[in-house]
Structure 1
């Protein structure tokens, strides 16, 4: 069209009338204006009004301007609207500027729509006009905001146009994506004031553009493409932005900046900033990292082959298969791969990029022509969709009436022709696009489209996640987008984020197999949040994708192991070689294995670390198998105890060697006694270890080293060193929590107890509860004369005859005090709850102290002792059976609770997989039945405690 041709004379075609009544309403509303309009132009307006309620309202709103708009070239009217935007900065206040900008937008929207529909402008000229108007509106709003902020100039503040705006490709009802940057030096003020001004100006700018008033709005404005939008202010300093993109810039941000350009404010500052970003956007060398990065973009952002099928009703012409986004990505992914070495490919506009790719031989000319023709047609349809009601929509209608409206508005003869044309277009794009990536192995070919870029959830991605079984698809999508921002320690580096991007599809595929995919996902997210770094772990996963199944299976049931994985990444190796599910070694092998690890260490510190690594790996294997049900609780308990025994003996030997190295040897022996669960062989994965150290030596002895010590000091220092070896946190973490409060005189007593003092204390001073603690006591080592003497002494202490009435009162009162100090907090707190494991243990201790003088010492472990008491007829068969049944279920619950949570199981905080596991541990099908079973056993045990030991609430007279 000649630039001097009026818009009325430039009308090349008009749509058919869709709604005659709407056309007549337009004629009635605008009859005075139509008098001055040529008949063919009047008919054209009527036809447009019949199809578009929005444009009919706009015609009525601007009816006084219709004749003038049609009488001059479209470009003249657009330039007038653009000029109004520039002049709006001189408005007296924000409200006046809002009105001026909105009136200018109405004029621009009117003339651009008419020029586009009439065929006076091709579709891309319409997008160019919309983008130029957006530039003017942003510039006018920015300058007005700066004026009201009392800054004298726009120096140091720039607005970048992103996406379609940056490429002059805005659609008719598009929002605009902006990034506001500032430079304190150019603003010539300190950075704190500069940020305050820039943030205020950015907010004023957005308000001017998008606030809905009686005159409408200008553009919906989005600032979320700025660096790290969740953590940054609306305006970001240039230096902060450069640091962000250098350190944390993501794949989708590289793609976004292909189209970026400064559109308002300090244009020179914007150009300088984009120049600094060139190495980030355009990789110079086509190396492995570049290809991986671009493939990661493609994996994240394209709707993969095998995703949603091409459809008509409700199909998204932008994001759907064969849509506008696939044409854009078709060009942009190749630009990113090759644009670093070939600057001729660095075009913002999609059609320019396609032409450049064809000219350099990257794509065939046929592919360029198909993609170009398809792009123009889909943009044409997109505009007609949005012009109907001024909605930011890209979905084809579903109702027959709306389909007919759109087909007529788009210039088709009938809906059938329109349907055929658009489906042919989708299929043509799909074929070209898939051909580009047909050799790329991608789980999305099985799963469907998965896009985790930008700041909003991708509709097709949510659909894919829902099909995979995720109930909280929106939360899952948001979480994965957060992962890629570098907000976690594990994803701080670009390499980690690239690896994680590749991991997401197979990870989601594995998560979908879990009984509760959402629960499994968020368990994995907690694992990620705790990782100190990501590259090593992500690389291991990528080369062993099948490990996900095991990892997710374990972490879904055991949040505790999820935490341990994060702290001790060496545990992942157990998953990688599948050793975690193999039967654990024979318990008799633990001592030799641990000794070998500790002995091989080059120094004492290395020995402590070696022991910690060994224990963590052995405990992990047993804990994981216990959590998922591959090993029985009583077997697991035995393994936990033998692992502890091996570590204690190995580290005590290492600690003694250190003592000998510094202070020499001494003529004497020591032993360590295990009490509580360690002594009874009933440890859980999180049990602490109750220890008592006993030594025997002549009082006058001294060590024979360069720095000799007397007996008391020698063994006291040794115990402190030994406890540190067993409990201190090293680079491999802590090993055991050591409790020595059960030694003679408790905290007030010496750390190392001489054997004669041990003998005298329990003969003359020990309380009943201290004798009770010896029921489970066991010498851990080292073997020797003293070990035999201590075992015999414990046996003799337990066998002393006691007053039965006083004994019952003491035991019941002790239980009462424990209940007051640490009451059970729920039915599931099977150790501390009334009628729980502590009651059963106290029954055994009471029976031992009451009868050992006649029948000897029973087994240390509670289950074996109950069976022994039954055989000795100290318990009736009925009572013994009740206690044994209760103990079995309580112990199983305790063991699995510790393996799963690291503490007391809480149903309210547990996921469905763990709830199901705990019900099965109780031998029940559902959680409610399990709780009822536990409560019934606890009531029975409480009654038996009262009948065997006595009322726990009794008092000494």
Structure 2
């Protein structure tokens, strides 16, 4: 049988050699493996390696398996990769499973690519293979997360595959869209625990799939197709999802669920859920309004992604005119209109849908054949585009060399014939699509009457706004009329007002998609009011209309980021190419990236600005993802800390270079110590940085520059310069607020502390609270002998034997003073409130200073410290669990609150989207219940503080 023949025996075609040098490098790197393969296989691999840098690297990486892959049926190799993905859950810990999944993905990616390129499989067989492997990877990742949780099985948790994944149509470098649902009754857990487990499992699953490691990634994973993603946790209960779609579901969500299917976990639960959604997806009556709704989305795509006209260089074969998405929409809108009465049209796959539509005469056979052939060709080209560098790109190249590469790789004779076929295909799709969708750009015909001139509201305009979902239509109309009067700085000029007039219709379309259009509108108005000018940003929006969806989504969850957008317009660039929602870089990469950014600046002032731009962009990505629930609070704190570390080390190096230029070198060394949240690795989006500078040099040392300085003045000036570099407001704004009050003698002490003085101070003079601050202390840099010496000294200070009674009284008194100076504002002020994070940190500091001489220094992060003390039997298991659970929730609230508001979350001043988000952070659906849970934790922590340390009103 054909499917039992080897891949080599079934090769039907091969691209011509594009880059002979790349082919030669491949032959040199894989000589041993190629020697065992027949000449036809050698020629085929040679051609593949010459056209695709990514596949060449993958071939070299998997060279030990090349003989097996080429000598076996590709079906068998794919089946083995699928088995390895499924059994990855048995590999032990999370890191071990990550490696196993990525190795399985590399095998699958290689065999699928070779079978696709060689014509062994047609393009849809390849997409089905990719989709089946994605199913296995998701199931394996889910099972691993289950194994590492407190659950015994996947009962009650289902993963829905959406989009191309759901239809078995994944492209070669596709991300996967998933929806994670859970049913507490099937999970054999109460509602609170069920949601907590499901959310934790969803986050670990995403982490397993998309974290970039040395072995690569499996699939970029997107959970944003879940109900109301800006306000819900990563996992949503089935009951909540059903209620959402019944009350708030939109046409685009109906379209999304055409392709949905359960791909992992409790498949029976998923099938039952989709069955309940059938009346939502497949309405009984013709819904021609759907066509206009979908076409409005397409108009935004044309402007932002692929362009309104069919082009060649740089054209987007997915989202552009005549592209893949138009074929999909062509089929899906007809399915939505007719599928309610005709179940035969309810196909997930695009080609099956086109065939079914022709069979019932909804489209003619000629249109079916054109769209089918075009779809297959565009998917073929899309795969070749993505195989070149494993990029999720859909754009045709702009340079002639890259066009030539793609032409060869796609099997064309030359660039001219490739261009000709591509243009014919795009025009054919465009013609069919336009026959179905009337392209009318008049906003009044698209949305209805909209007049925002005059003194009074236009009645028909209010009807249009109400039809879009605005409950405060009169207020919205009044605000837009106010914009047009030039009442804001952003609309002072005639040009700005002209642009704004064009901007309002697509803006209102985007706002109408929000869970609360009114809240979203006034969040956007606040953004406009803070803008210093409007022409640039309005022009940017008009050329990238789909940025509105992301911008509004973020603003409604995070007023803090709304303010940041107004101050740092460059952050919107992150929205333009959708980088903000992509997995952030590994924290370990920040140091090198920031150092390179600062080092490449032409001068010192430019270096300061470059660092501020870099930090702003990195923090924005993490803050935005934290705000909408794409990243866990604990992961966010690691990112924020590593970003700060990178900025500190890079700017200190730049400041030292400036010192050397002016005053020369000096025979000495310095280190900077991070304290507080910086030291513990628990930074938030708005944390300041607590620093202490320590230097070591001989008393008589002098710098060797023309303006020579003694050692004390040299390091004092350096510290002032360094603090300015980190905190001063430049044209790019401020970077961090720097606090140095925790240094020896506080404000009265020298900015730079000599090591001997550091030693003596903590030996003889330091108060208990000053030693407490060293519990979280961490040398940030530079690495070297002094760094090691300071770390050892800190460990020695903490390990001194202390009087236990005095220690408890001192710490209780300090907590009392802090409470008097800065009392907690509410249960949501989880840092300062009695029984909050400060109490937990003080307990850890007390335990450290009491027991370090016996058991050593604990880890700096509080959550790890608590577990450590439990293991050392200095905390009972029950006490440790109380503190760990409370700390986990408080940290999540603190991180989410800082990301959303920049300060303490206040439910009474928050919109519904933000209230829902903060409730979900606490594992609840209602904000009142979330506050009750917080208070319960705080009461338990306060009792443990008294039990471990003493009453807060203690006196010496």
Q: For the superposition of Structure 1 and Structure 2, which TM-score range results when normalised by the shorter chain?
A: 0.5 to 0.7
- Report the equivalent of 2:487: 487
- Report the equivalent of 1:300: none
CA-CA distance at 1:516 after TM superposition = 1.1
Distance 1:917 1:451 in 2: 35
Deviations 1:919-957 (A, max 9, x none): 00000010110010000000000000000111111111x
**TM-score relative to the length of structure 2:** 0.54
Q: Superposition pairs for residues 11-30 of structure 1, below 5 Å? A: none
CA-CA distance at 1:439 after TM superposition = 7.0
Deviations 1:141-163 (A, max 9, x none): xxxxxxxxxxxxxxxxxxxxxxx
CA-CA distance at 1:455 after TM superposition = 1.2
Q: Are 1:840 and 2:855 an aligned pair?
A: no
Distance 2:766 2:289 in 1: 76
- Report the equivalent of 2:807: 807
Distance 1:878 1:447 in 2: 60
Matched residue SS, 2:935: helix
When the two chains are superposed, the root-mean-square deviation of aligned CA atoms in Å is 1.5
Deviations 1:212-257 (A, max 9, x none): xxxxxxxxxxxxxxxxxxxxxxxxxxxxxxxxxxxxxxxxxxxxxx
CA-CA distance at 1:440 after TM superposition = 4.8
Deviations 1:852-881 (A, max 9, x none): 000000000000000101111111100100
**TM-score relative to the length of structure 1:** 0.54
Q: Are 1:500 and 2:507 an aligned pair?
A: no
Distance 2:546 2:575 in 1: 9
Distance 1:774 1:611 in 2: 28
CA-CA distance at 1:704 after TM superposition = 0.2
- Report the equivalent of 1:471: 471
Is 2:561–2:900's contact at 8 Å kept on the other side of the alignment? yes
- Report the equivalent of 1:530: 530
Matched residue SS, 1:673: strand
CA-CA distance at 1:736 after TM superposition = 0.1
Distance 1:619 1:802 in 2: 41
Distance 2:950 2:819 in 1: 15
- Report the equivalent of 2:900: 900
Distance 1:583 1:306 in 2: 36
CA-CA distance at 1:514 after TM superposition = 1.1
Distance 1:782 1:934 in 2: 40
Matched residue SS, 1:955: coil
Matched residue SS, 1:852: helix
Distance 2:521 2:573 in 1: 21
CA-CA distance at 1:442 after TM superposition = 3.2
Q: Are 1:672 and 2:680 an aligned pair?
A: no
Is 1:306–1:447's contact at 8 Å kept on the other side of the alignment? no
Distance 1:656 1:803 in 2: 42
- Report the equivalent of 1:690: 690
Unmatched 5+ stretches in structure 1: 1-304, 308-437
- Report the equivalent of 1:877: 877
- Report the equivalent of 1:914: 914
- Report the equivalent of 1:512: 512
Distance 1:910 1:931 in 2: 14
- Report the equivalent of 1:790: 790
Matched residue SS, 1:783: coil
- Report the equivalent of 2:544: 544
Q: Superposition pairs for residues 409-488 of structure 1, below 5 Å? A: 440-488=440-488
Distance 1:827 1:565 in 2: 29
- Report the equivalent of 2:925: 925
Is 1:306–1:448's contact at 8 Å kept on the other side of the alignment? no
Distance 2:821 2:908 in 1: 24
Q: Are 1:866 and 2:871 an aligned pair?
A: no
CA-CA distance at 1:306 after TM superposition = 9.5
Q: Superposition pairs for residues 522-601 of structure 1, below 5 Å? A: 522-601=522-601
Distance 1:442 1:942 in 2: 63
CA-CA distance at 1:444 after TM superposition = 3.8
Matched residue SS, 1:685: coil
Distance 1:445 1:863 in 2: 58
User: Which moved further from structure 2: 459-468 or 935-944?
Assistant: 459-468
Distance 2:571 2:622 in 1: 12
Matched residue SS, 1:696: strand
Is 2:689–2:736's contact at 8 Å kept on the other side of the alignment? yes
Matched residue SS, 1:694: strand
Q: Superposition pairs for residues 258-269 of structure 1, below 5 Å? A: none
- Report the equivalent of 2:780: 780
Distance 1:574 1:561 in 2: 13
Q: Superposition pairs for residues 342-421 of structure 1, below 5 Å? A: none
- Report the equivalent of 1:645: 645
CA-CA distance at 1:447 after TM superposition = 2.0
Distance 2:924 2:543 in 1: 40
CA-CA distance at 1:488 after TM superposition = 1.1
Deviations 1:299-353 (A, max 9, x none): xxxxxx999xxxxxxxxxxxxxxxxxxxxxxxxxxxxxxxxxxxxxxxxxxxxxx
Larger radius of gyration: 1
Q: Are 1:700 and 2:686 an aligned pair?
A: no
Q: Are 1:947 and 2:951 an aligned pair?
A: no
CA-CA distance at 1:449 after TM superposition = 1.3
Is 2:440–2:446's contact at 8 Å kept on the other side of the alignment? no
Is 1:306–1:445's contact at 8 Å kept on the other side of the alignment? no
Is 1:889–1:922's contact at 8 Å kept on the other side of the alignment? yes
Q: Are 1:826 and 2:826 an aligned pair?
A: yes
Deviations 1:585-632 (A, max 9, x none): 011110111111111111100000000000000000000000000000
Unmatched 5+ stretches in structure 2: 1-287, 291-437
CA-CA distance at 1:567 after TM superposition = 0.2
Distance 2:584 2:289 in 1: 43
Q: Superposition pairs for residues 688-767 of structure 1, below 5 Å? A: 688-767=688-767
Matched residue SS, 1:449: coil
Q: In 2 relative to 1, CA 819–459 (structure 1 residues): closer, same or farther, beyond 3 Å? A: same
CA-CA distance at 1:443 after TM superposition = 4.1
Q: Superposition pairs for residues 217-256 of structure 1, below 5 Å? A: none
Distance 1:954 1:880 in 2: 24
- Report the equivalent of 1:18: none
Deviations 1:670-724 (A, max 9, x none): 0000000000000001000000000000000000000000000000000000000
Matched residue SS, 2:867: helix
CA-CA distance at 1:908 after TM superposition = 1.3
Is 1:692–1:743's contact at 8 Å kept on the other side of the alignment? yes
Q: Superposition pairs for residues 265-284 of structure 1, below 5 Å? A: none
CA-CA distance at 1:532 after TM superposition = 1.0
CA-CA distance at 1:883 after TM superposition = 0.5
